Amino acid sequence: MDLTTKKAQALLAYLAVERARPHTRDHLATLLWADTGEDRARHNLRQALSKIRSRCDGLVTANDDCLSINVAECEVDIVEFEQLATSDDPDELRRCLDLYCGDLLEGFAPREPGYEEWLLAEPVRSFRPGPESPASHLVQQIRDEAHRFAITGHRGQRQKAATRSTLERIPGIGPKRRRSLLNHFGGLQGVNKAGIEELSSVPGISRLLAEQIFRALH
C-alpha cells in the first residue's frame, strides 16, 4: 500500500503488530504526535486515518473511540513469520528467512518517544525447532543473520532510550529541552561535561534548572 506520510505508515504498522486488541484514539494520537498538543494530535490522527482509508477503505475499523486493524482485509507478514519460525520443515524455515528484512519497522519508524519505546519493548520472537530436527542448522543461520542485521540498530535504539531516560527523569526536562541540550552539546557526553554556566546558556534552560541538571548528572 502506497501511503504518502511516514506517520500514516507507522500508524498502520502499529495496528497490525498490536492487532490482538483495539486502541483508543487518545493513545494513538499521543503515541505518534506527543509534542503537538491534544487537539492537534487528534487532528493529525484523523488525517492519517483518512489517508489509510483512501487507499483501502475498511482496513481500519472503529468501535466507539477505539481503532483496530481488520485482519480479514489484509495479510500481516509478522503473523506468517511467527508461524513459520516454530516449524521444523526446512522449506517453511527458508520462507521464514525470506520474510526477515531486518529490525521491526526499520527505516521508517518515526522519531517519537512513545513509538521508540514500543519498538524497544516489542519482544523478540525465538525459533524453536525440534532438537533433532535436520533444520536446526538452517535455524541457526537465521539466528546469525538476524543478529548481524539487528545488533547495530538495537544498540543505537538502546543508546537513544538511555539518553532520553537520563535527561527526562530530571524535573523540568521534557522532550523539547532534552533535544535542545543534546543538539547544543553534541550528545549526552557533552551535557555531562558542561558546567552550570554552559548549561544555562542553552535556550529554555534557566540558571536554576541548569543547577538541577548539573547536580543530577554529577
The pLDDT-based confidence of 26 (bands split at 50, 70, 90) is very high
d(CA 9, CA 27): 17
SS3 assignment, position 16:
helix
The answer on pLDDT for 1 being more than 60 is no
Alpha helices in the chain (DSSP H): 6-17, 25-32, 38-55, 77-85, 90-99, 113-121, 136-168, 175-185, 188-193, 196-200, 207-217
Q: What is the pLDDT of residue 125?
A: 39
Report the percent of the chain where pLDDT is more than 70: 71
Q: Which residue has the cell 512513545?
A: 114
Nearest to 162 by CA among 197, 120, 132, 200: 120
Provide the whole-model pTM. 0.50
Question: pLDDT per residue over 73-93, tens digit each?
Answer: 777 677 777 777 777 777 887
The answer on pLDDT for 30 being more than 80 is yes
Q: What is the pLDDT of residue 106?
A: 64
The torsion defined by the Cα of 70, 74, 80 and 82, in degrees rounded to 10, comes to: -30
- Provide CB contacts within 8 A for 112, sequence distance 6+: 31, 32, 33, 34
Question: pLDDT per residue over 98-150, tens digit each?
Answer: 776 666 666 666 778 888 888 777 654 334 444 554 445 555 665 566 556 55
Domains in the chain and their CATH numbers? Answer: 6-73 (1.10.10.10), 77-165 (no CATH), 171-217 (1.10.150.20)
The answer on pLDDT for 33 being more than 50 is yes
Sheet containing 60-63, strands listed edge to edge, beginning at the edge strand earlier in sequence? 23-24, 66-69, 60-63
Nearest to 23 by CA among 52, 64, 51: 64
Q: What is the pLDDT of residue 28?
A: 94
SS3 assignment, position 195:
coil
Q: Comparing 198 with 125, which gets the higher pLDDT? A: 198
Identity of residue 176:
K
The pLDDT-based confidence of 53 (bands split at 50, 70, 90) is confident
